[in-house]
Structure formats: C-alpha cells, structure tokens
Amino acid sequence: DPLWSRGLGDVYKRQELNLLISLAKNSGLPMSREELAGVDEPGRAVDVGINRLRKKIEDDPTMPIWLQTVRGKGYILRPNSS
C-alpha cells in the first residue's frame, strides 16, 4: 500500500501519528478539525499536522490524493486514489 510504504522510514511526530491513526480508523469519512483536535491539539495545530503528513505521504502535497480537505467538513483519508 503506497500510503504506508512511503514514510515508514520517516520519523513521525506524535501528533502526526495520532492524526493518521484517527483518520485511518475513519477512512473514507470526513473528520472535522474539532474531532481531530481531540486527538492531540486544538485549533490550527491540526492544520499544521495535516500539512506535515501530506509532505510525507503525498507525491505532491499541494495536490493531495490520499489526505484531502473536504470544504466545510474537515479532512478525509481516501482509502485509495482511484
């Protein structure tokens, strides 16, 4: 699975791992910033964590395939890119 094979050698910060685990448990379902803030940190810290994750798992973090923003809802981890 490309999502996991691309970054296991990287050192993830605790916040990044917590966000990724939470998103993976809800794969395919959007999660709000507030839901994700309960995972680790409040507010915009979630956005920072999402951006760090994108840099590690996406080929082009500016055009994410796996970890996407759902406008007005939050973030979603896509189970596949097809």
9-62 per-position pLDDT tens digit: 455 777 888 898 899 999 999 999 888 887 556 668 899 999 999 998 899 999
Only one residue has tokens 């994410």, namely 64
For 31, which DSSP code?
B
Classified as helix, coil or strand, 4 is helix
8 pLDDT more than 60: no
The per-residue pLDDT for 15 is 81
The per-residue pLDDT for 14 is 76
The per-residue pLDDT for 59 is 93
Q: Name the strand (E) or helix (H) holding 68.
A: strand 67-70
Say how many Å lie between the first and final Cα of the chain, rounded: 13
Question: Which amino acid does the sequence have at 62?
Answer: T
